[in-house]
A and B are shown apart, each in its own frame.
Chain A
Amino acid sequence: MLDFLSQTIWLIPCYTLIGAGLALPWSPGFIRRTGPRPAGYINALMTFMAFLHSLIALSDTWNQPPYALSFEWLNAPGLIINLDLEVSTLALGACVLITGLNFLAQVYAIAYLEMDWGWARVYSLMGLFEAGMCLLVLCNSLFFSYVILEILTLGTYLIVGIWYNQSLVVTGARDAFLTKRVGDLILLMGVVALLPLSGTWNFSELAIWAETADLDPTVATLLALTLIAGPIAKCAQFPLHLWLDEAMEGPYPATILRNTLVVSTGAWVLIKVQPIIALSPFGSSVVFAIGAATAVGTSLISVAQIDVKRVLSYLTSAYLGIVFIAVGIGATQAALVLLLTYALAMSLLIMSTGGIVLNNISQDLTQYGGLWSRRPISGLCLIVGGFSLVALPPFGGFWSLVQIADALWETRPGLFAVVLAVNAIVAFSVTRLFGRMFAGEVTDFTRRSSEGLWLLVLPMTILAGVTLHIPLLLAQWDLLPDWAMVNRSLALPLTWSSLAGIGFGSLVYLNPNWEKPVKLSSQAVQDFFAYDFYTPQLYKGTIIFAVDRISKAVYWLDRYIVDGAVNFVGFATVFGGESLKYNTTGRSQFYAFSIILSVAIFILLTTLPYFSNL
């Protein structure tokens, strides 16, 4: 039985797809009598089965060498494209994380979507995400990774647009889709360009090829830049970061997945293609430069947001920025560990704030306050999530950040300063979030707040437990450096930066004497961060403006030149007919004249050669 499960790994992505199919009778409303809830239960059950399957398979294949599965997809002369799967401990561990978090999010959604009629859609789409992400981590082919990224792009569009009767939801879904498409299209260029160069799309073969590849530096740089573009859009990095903020209009359970796992799919692909990017020093520099700029920029923006979800969405971009830094310097192992600890901590933060947003109606931080005595469990979970996010021993985030810092210190000490700064700002931002929600005076919005349904609280507390145990699990799996081996001179500044962030945050936001909302001396600076560096206006003024004008010009050209030419032919014919009909005068003398004239002309023309002989 156990053997069977580890031999049928390909089933893991299929469970929730089956669940999505089973939810169909409730989605268009064929079954109304039961309400939409059974669709959700079926999907949650399928997700749980996928979770059990991957858990058992993981323990079964623990420390076994990875093995490959291959399904033929396209067989044309000279081109064979296979769907390659690689079953490794890492991939199965990622599957466990994905299915586990998805299961918790679906249980959470049972309470969150109370009285909502979109159950079948929400659950099926969450299932689609799970299936796509499981297939992505198992997939060993760049081509199919690209295909999956595209499917997930569509999934994002659909799940952000769940509540489609709100205009912000519609624009958010549209922007998320289009922004990711920009990245995907450029990534596709790289994917297509890679095959003639390397002869394979298989990640492991690509890594071997990259070791000895002798590429022209320009080609290598262009290739690296195209391969980076997809992850930039997926991970909401500068300059394609706005979609994540707008996607916050979607429902909370989906946000749990999106902010932790879906954005990580981009990082996963980036880690997989890192050997190719490393072929170009410039490409690697771009990766960590973008990561560093995003990490600093978005963590600063997050401090200035008053919307709970937007604070968290910008923190997401910031952490993915740190992942980019790690990938840029080649520390892929540390990047993966950071993705793991980050995913758990961030989903805990989102779950704890989601319950509060659900029954306090508002997402506005300035409307909150004094929730600590009313919602202690959410508060504790928020604290656990925050501590695990930043570098604070002995929580999870500390260990992953220390590993990254270790790799940075040897190669690029300047970036270590960036990580320190980002860590401090993130610590401040999370403390601010906590302070604005849980400390201070009770407001009208929070006066009657109480802990949510047990289905909201249970997944949250389970996740808090897992998050707290992550360092132990990492130690168990030999993923942590030995305590004696940890570079104290790096661990101490990291810890101090977190403490400084938390301390300063507490000083401002846990202190009733500090006036809130905090006003900086310069309103312009405050607005600069609060309005996301004015990037929406920048895009409106440049790209959107240009596209608008170009499409109007092309429309004009199409309408008046191309259409006009054809219409002119038609018009000329009609006009010709209209004017020629006046030849039909009805007067026999005119007809006689025409006949005689034409005969005369005909005779003249035929006899013209003879005149020259005269």
Chain B
Amino acid sequence: MQLEYFLLLAAALFCIGIYGLINSRNAVRVLMSIELLLNAVNLNLMAFSNYLDADAKGQVFSVFVITIAAAEAAVGLAIVLAIYRNRDTIDMEQFNLLKW
């Protein structure tokens, strides 16, 4: 088991998250993709702290990231709910009031 494998896995997860973030039409799925991105970041932090840092600062960071992720998911879901109440849909294609 080497550091590179962890990093490559995290990068792959990040790419999948990006793909989901850009491509999903469902707003909840976009939020889920963001969670995936954050998880990829956590993976990275944990891997670096495990291999390179004896003080394990990365683990502290990832605790904070998980906290923030939870808060962000709460706020994000609240926003999606607010939009849904106004527009009766959570299709991302419909939220384009600011186009040309």
Contacts and interface: CB of A to CB of B under 8 A. Distances in A.
Interface of A: 581-582, 584-589, 592-593, 596
Contact of A589 (B21, B97, B98, B99): B21
Given A587-B92, A587-B93, A582 B21 contact: no
B30 interface: yes
What DSSP secondary structure best describes chain A's contact surface?
Answer: helix
A195 to B, nearest CB: 69
B96 interface: yes
Interface string B19-55: 0011110000010000000000000000000000000
A586 B21 contact: no
Contacts of A585: 96, 99-100
A582 B96 CA distance: 12
List the 3 closest A-B pairs by CB distance, nearest first. A586-B99, A586-B96, A586-B98
Contact of A587 (B18, B21, B96): B96
Interface in B64-100: 92-93, 95-100
Contacts of B22: 589, 592-593, 596
28 contacts: A581-B100, A582-B100, A584-B98, A584-B99, A584-B100, A585-B96, A585-B99, A585-B100, A586-B95, A586-B96, A586-B97, A586-B99, A587-B92, A587-B93, A587-B95, A587-B96, A587-B99, A588-B92, A588-B95, A589-B21, A589-B22, A589-B23, A589-B24, A589-B30, A592-B22, A593-B22, A596-B18, A596-B22
Interface residues of B, number: 14
A587 B21 CA distance: 12
Contacts of B99: 584-587
A584 B92 CA distance: 15
Contacts of A586: 95-100
Most B C-beta atoms less than 10 A away, residue of A584, A585, A588, A589? A589
A363 B11 CA distance: 106
A593 B99 CA distance: 16
Contacts of B95: 586-588
Contacts of A587: 92-93, 95-96, 99
Given A585-B99, A587-B96, A592-B21, 17 more contacts: A584-B99, A584-B100, A585-B96, A585-B100, A586-B95, A586-B96, A586-B98, A586-B100, A587-B93, A587-B95, A587-B99, A589-B21, A589-B22, A589-B23, A589-B30, A592-B22, A593-B22
A600 to B, nearest CB: 10
Nearest to A584: B100
Contacts of B24: 589
Nearest to B92: A589
Interface centre among B22, B30, B95, B97 (most CB of A within 10 A): B22
Contacts of B97: 586
A114 to B, nearest CB: 77
A106 B24 CA distance: 101
A593 B20 CA distance: 11
A170 B96 CA distance: 69
B55 to A, nearest CB: 29
B32 to A, nearest CB: 14
A46 to B, nearest CB: 78
Contacts of A592: 21-22
A488 B38 CA distance: 131
A596 B24 CA distance: 16
A592 B21 CA distance: 8
Contacts of B18: 596
A581 B99 CA distance: 9
B40 to A, nearest CB: 14
A575 to B, nearest CB: 15
Contacts of A593: 22
Nearest to B30: A589
Contacts of A582: 100
Contacts of B21: 589, 592
B50 to A, nearest CB: 25
Contacts of A588: 92, 95
A581 B30 CA distance: 26
A589 B99 CA distance: 13
B11 to A, nearest CB: 12
A593 B19 CA distance: 9
Nearest to A587: B96
Contacts of A584: 98-100
Contacts of A589: 21-24, 30, 92
A587 B23 CA distance: 11
Nearest to A585: B99
Nearest to B97: A586
Contacts of B96: 585-587
Contacts of B98: 584, 586
